[in-house]
Each structure stands twice: as structure tokens, then as C-alpha cells.
Amino acid sequence: MARKSNKDSKKKKRKVPKKKLCYFCTEHFVAIDYKDEDLLRRFMTERGKISPRRNTGTCALHQRLLAMAVKRGRHIVMLPFVREYFR
């Protein structure tokens, strides 16, 4: 009879991450405005990049709308492409 080693009997339990809810769905946003600079900066990194869905928790539809709004804001120079101190 073979015994089970302690390694096999003590399996590591992984924490199940809490599912992130989409900010725009919970707040019932109809449209994401490219002129709302504070809202758009919330979903950007310090370097000016658009944060991915896995970090922000936005749904696919709102992530696409958010990306389009950020790009429009950059195009009319409301949002920087790159922060000043990284240039």
C-alpha cells in the first residue's frame, strides 16, 4: 500500500477573484463624451495609454466606446498622446 505524500493532500486553494462590474453599465451611461476629461483620465494609465478591460472591468461595448472617445479627445488635443515628462 502506497501512502499519499503530504504534498498531494495539501492542495493550494486559489482565491476566486471578485468579478468587476462595468462602471458605465452600473451608472447607466447612455454615451461616453470625449469632452469629459476627468472621466476619460480615470480609464487611462499614467503614461496616457488606454487601460485594458481586465484592469478596468468595463464590458466590451463600453470599452470600444471608451477607446473611441479617448482617441477623439487626443485628436482635438484635449488629452495628451504621451505625458509631458515622458517625452
Q: Which domains does the chain carry?
A: 20-86 (4.10.640.10)
Tell me which residue of 14, 81, 18, 12 sits closest to 44, measured CA to CA: 81
Band of residue 68 on the pLDDT scale cut at 50, 70, 90: very high
Residue 85 pLDDT: 65
Mean pLDDT of 11-35: 88
Residue 8 pLDDT: 57
Residue 1 pLDDT: 60
Hunting for cell 485628436 — which residue is that?
75
**Residue 71: pLDDT above 70?**
yes
**pTM of the full predicted structure?**
0.72
Q: Give the Cα separation of 63 and 21 in Å (integer).
A: 12
Hunting for cell 478596468 — which residue is that?
56
